[in-house]
A and B are shown apart, each in its own frame.
Chain A
Amino acid sequence: MQKMILLGDEAIAQGAIDAGLSGIYAYPGTPSTEITEYIIASKEAKNNGIVANWTANEKTAVETALGMSYAGKRAMACMKHVGLNVAADPFINSAVTGINGGLIVVSADDPSMHSSQNEQDSRFYGKFALLPILEPSNQQEAYDMVHYGFDLSEKYQIPVLFRITTRLAHSRSGIERKAKRAQNEMTLPGDLKQFVLLPAIARRRYKGLLGLQPQLENESENSGWNQYTDGPDKSLGIIAAGLAYNYLLENFPEGNIPYPVLKIGQYPLPRLWVEKIANECETLLVLEEGMPVIEEMLKGYLGNCLNIKGRLDGTLPRDGELNPNLVAVALGGKMIRGEEVPSLVVPRPPSLCAGCPHTDSYLALNEAMKVYGKGRVFSDIGCYTLAALPPLEAINSCVDMGASITMAKGAADAGLVPAVAVIGDSTFTHSGITGLLDAVISKSPITILILDNSTTGMTGGQPSAATGRIAEICKGIGVEEEHIRILKPLRKNHDENVKIIAEELAYPGVSVVIPTRECVQTLNRRMREKFKNKKTE
């Protein structure tokens, strides 16, 4: 069969289609978005009746996937690493309920923070939940591991965490497909109390999960995703996880690595192999993308039993993603670089698009805020976060999805009045609605700008859950109707918009301003489609 050239994300998606997936649920987040996008666009998935939905947030995604698993079918939930924080509640508890149909949760980590606010390592969550983790090192493994992951999930009746990082998610390579297997039939769980986590049931199920751990270790030792390759020089043993294994190979193009190497692709760690390499080698070098998860486990708190090199002793940087050069230096080689970047090369930071509605919203807000001074605007996650940078410099926070509204409330409680929140429409439905309810109940003197561009812009224009319904939602939550103001962010409306925002800033209760204008990217795309369709008519 001709190889397919796929992104790591797309390989996971195709792997899931071929492994008998019935439903995928996700909230967009770089670098995980393309998994679900691929299945939504796939005719094959559509013909097979696979349900592919963007959900309100990652928590609802995991819960919906768990519901599909309850009904016996294979399900997947996908998110970026910080999305797993949002979904942590159902994720951790799903380890205790267990599953019926196979369940895989994909979390895409972003070391070096290319598009994120931190570089947390999802493997901690796998360990925390006592669940197996799969970590592919390349696109083919990403494809193959989905099939294996569903098998593993159904064999032990637990969810499986699938961890990838940016460079695999967004790198293309050739994939060979496997034979396709059918979806599961719908079946109820054998025990109808399995998913009822009342303490008495949860205690029993938790003991069961703990009891599984030796078997999961055994799987890790025998599945083939963890591989021990012997080498004659025992002065060093190398443990390389996921993508880091590629950077190791890159340094030995002829494949002649003189040291024993333990490649890790599945957790819990394969105890047998770890013991073998630790016993046989004088020093261990741990190469892992993200945080020093394996290194800390092996080192222990006192760090006095083994000689271990890695991110903790400075052999490798403590933060940021790895690359072939850093691994070369860790192996005792030199840092090879071409010429340095000439001094005239200045940074080119991302910026809001020409014609972006957010720019007009912020210009109006900045002017209305002049009388109060700087430092009062809490914001959120999306394209509009770029307003922290020049030339707008309009916002003072970006923490997590929805935090703008709640932080503004807290600051107002402390006496910062007026406090302003700026949040996008999709972020509002993801996690802003509950915070707004808090503010309404306390009658907090805050003004919330919900920038409604009718899409989830930053991740490429996925549909936004509340398009056309933002004002109704606010009204339903209890915001007074006369303090819900809709405006059109255009340069020509500037003076009027400033006036509206100023009026609401002066109101000592909850007010919501909704600047409403479609994202220029989705608008352009829509117009091109329309033009194309007209032409072919």
Chain B
Amino acid sequence: MIIMKNDIILAGVGGQGILSIAAIIGTAAVSRGLYVKQSEVHGMSQRGGDVQSHLRLSSRPIASDLIPTGAADMIISVEPLEALRYLPWLKKEGWIITNTKPFVNIPNYPPLEEVLATIASKPHHVMIDADEIATEIGSARSANMVILGASTICLDLPFEELEQAIRSVFGKKGEEIVHTNLSALRAGRDFALQQKNQA
């Protein structure tokens, strides 16, 4: 049997919607009959601090709620500086999928071009201005779904399964919200495929 395993670090700033990303990947994985464990941060750090979630998918039972350092297959980040905070978790051949739009709520935020250059120096990365793409498709609030879309090029889940998960997670909020989130997901994937092909 082929063992499927995706160990994902989701990163961002409190309030940026990384838990929605986790919920959609988790829902899709469960529909595929995979095991899921997802560790979240609640409480004090949610107030504008750095937050991360360890999301693990596997075809076998998962032991630890935490991903060991040096073992994550990918870092999915909705903020560029936060993408770098979790490098000790990323394995050598791992991917970084990150938003390039900074969230500046600290006085000593490092120069953005240095942050982006550092990410670009890593062998496997997708860098995407998710806020701009989300705005283009008319829904600035779905930047997190653009990032999720970009990450699908490394996720071992069928794209249709993620679309289905969006329908089931956002279904209660109405057809309009489902539609914009689906558009955001597709736009993110298309951008990532393009960037990958150019590389």
Contacts and interface: CB of A to CB of B under 8 A. Distances in A.
Do chains A and B stick together as partners? Answer: yes
Interface of A: 3, 5, 7, 30-31, 33-34, 114-115, 167-168, 170-174, 243, 246-250, 253, 323-325, 328, 335-342, 344-353, 383, 386, 458-460
Nearest to A8: B65
Nearest to A249: B63
Contacts of B35: 173-174
Contacts of A30: 42-44
Contact of A338 (B27, B47, B64, B69): B69
Interface string B34-48: 011111111111111
Given A172-B26, A336-B70, A350-B45, 7 more contacts: A3-B30, A171-B65, A324-B64, A324-B66, A337-B88, A338-B89, A458-B47
B145 interface: no
A346 B109 contact: yes
B196 interface: no
A170 B40 contact: yes
Given A5-B26, A173-B38, A338-B88, A459 B43 contact: yes
B13 interface: yes
| Best-surrounded residue of A7, A324, A350 (most CB of chain B within 10 A) | A350
- A contact patch SS: loop
Interface stretch (B79-87, B126-134, B152-160): B79-87
B36 A173 contact: yes
Interface residues of B, number: 53
B14 A350 contact: yes
| Best-surrounded residue of B47, B70, B71, B89 (most CB of chain A within 10 A) | B47
Contact of A171 (B13, B39, B89): B39
A115 B13 CA distance: 16
A325 B115 contact: no
B66 A114 contact: no
A168 B66 CA distance: 10
Contacts of A350: 14, 44-49
B69 A247 contact: no
B42 A337 contact: no
B190 interface: no
A246 B35 CA distance: 15
A171 B54 CA distance: 9
A353 B64 contact: no
Given A346-B109, A351-B49, A338 B92 contact: yes
Given A344-B114, A348-B105, A351-B105, A458 B43 contact: yes
A299 B85 CA distance: 39
B40 A339 contact: no
B63 A247 contact: yes
